Amino acid sequence: MKPVAFRYERPESIEEAMALLAEHGDEAKVLAGGQSLLPVLNMRLLRPSVLVDINCVLQLDNVAHENGSLRVGALARQADRRLLDVPLLADCLPHVGHFVTRNRGTVCGSIAHGDAAAELPLALTLLGGSVVAASARGRREIAAADFFVTHFTTQLAPDELVVETVWPSVDDGWAYAFEELAQRHGDFALCAVAAAARGSELRIALGAVVDRPTVLEVDPEAPAASAAAQVEPYGNLHASAAYLRNLVRVLVDRAAARAREQGT
């Protein structure tokens, strides 16, 4: 339960961080909040030879409104109150870990980690947000719909650093709700649902019962049944496939109802 020995680098600029990642590639891991990275280091599931701690890259602490989106820098913590300007984030953040881990854990770190059961990737996908990745080769913006590939796998190249995530926050009449069930509050979700409603329109995205956050085309008249018909959840130690399918039905129903209620 102790990390292996590694070289510890503490860059003070994005350029310096990118140079380190270019030099060490997949031998290096980026340390931001560390609330997912440190557990796997402690358990030695990961054995990086270089750790690039970006906590001293103060340029990355930005949270700013720009063109109808909230741009969230790589060092913005999950407890940052500026995030509450995005209604879906305000609803989903209380489910992310615990009070104490949110003080340290970052929004961008959770996105880069790409856990299919995590709340923030699901929220970014439903909102149609994007990820800004920088490397010595240049900068690119990747739509959330393309960014997440499968469990713990994203489009991010080994030399790329997530510098920002972009959260659409323009008030265009959509109302949002986030629902999940975990064995204990703050645990990994068995199933998570994000919903957006405007008039008769409805958007639903699913997490945890799929290998990456997934937007579903649902029948607005019967969203729960049509969502449940589209997933093939794998049963696990805690819940059977039939239970999870029913959970999709229940949570989609709740999320859709609450999003519509908030829209009125």
Partner 1 sequence: MCSTQPEQAFPPISCPEQPNPVSDTDWSLRTDPERTAIRRTAAPVIDVAVTVNGKRYRETVEPRLLLSDFLRHTLGLTGTHVGCEHGVCGACTVLLDGVSVRSCLLLAAQADGAELVTVEGLAQNGELNPLQAAFRECHALQCGFCTPGILMAATDLLSRGRPSRDEIADLLSGHLCRCTGYEPIVEAIAKATER
Rounded CA gap, 26 and 5, in Å? 16
State yes or no: residue 38 binds partner 1 (CB under 8 A): yes
Rounded CA gap, 259 and 264, in Å? 9
Q: Determine which residue in the list 12, 43, 58, 199 makes contact with partner 1, applying CB under 8 A.
A: 43
204 close to 257: Cβ distance less than 8 angstroms:
no
Strand partners, 197: 175, 202
> Closest approach of Cβ 194 to partner 1, in Å?
20
In the block, tokens 């913590």 appear at 77
Residue 6 or 139 with smaller CB distance to partner 1: 6
> Closest approach of Cβ 231 to partner 1, in Å?
27
> Closest approach of Cβ 247 to partner 1, in Å?
20
State yes or no: residue 35 binds partner 1 (CB under 8 A): yes
195 close to 207: Cβ distance less than 8 angstroms:
no
1 close to 39: Cβ distance less than 8 angstroms:
no
Number of residues written out for the chain: 264
52 close to 74: Cβ distance less than 8 angstroms:
no
Residue 94 or 263 with smaller CB distance to partner 1: 94
Residue 8 or 234 with smaller CB distance to partner 1: 8
Residue 56 or 157 with smaller CB distance to partner 1: 56
Rounded CA gap, 143 and 151, in Å? 17
Binding positions for partner 1, 120-159, rule CB under 8 A: none
Q: Report in angstroms the alpha-carbon separations of 78 from 95, 96, 197, 209, 257.
A: 11, 8, 25, 23, 27
Rounded CA gap, 262 and 197, in Å? 9
Residue 94 or 128 with smaller CB distance to partner 1: 94
Binding positions for partner 1, 166-185, rule CB under 8 A: 184-185
> Closest approach of Cβ 31 to partner 1, in Å?
8
Contact track, partner 1, 223-262, x by CB under 8 A: ----------------------------------------
Rounded CA gap, 148 and 115, in Å? 9
Site stretch for partner 1 (CB under 8 A), options 36-44, 109-117, 153-161, 249-257: 36-44
Binding residues for partner 1, rule: CB under 8 A, are 1-8, 10, 31, 34-35, 38-39, 41-43, 51, 53, 55, 94, 97-101, 103-104, 184-186
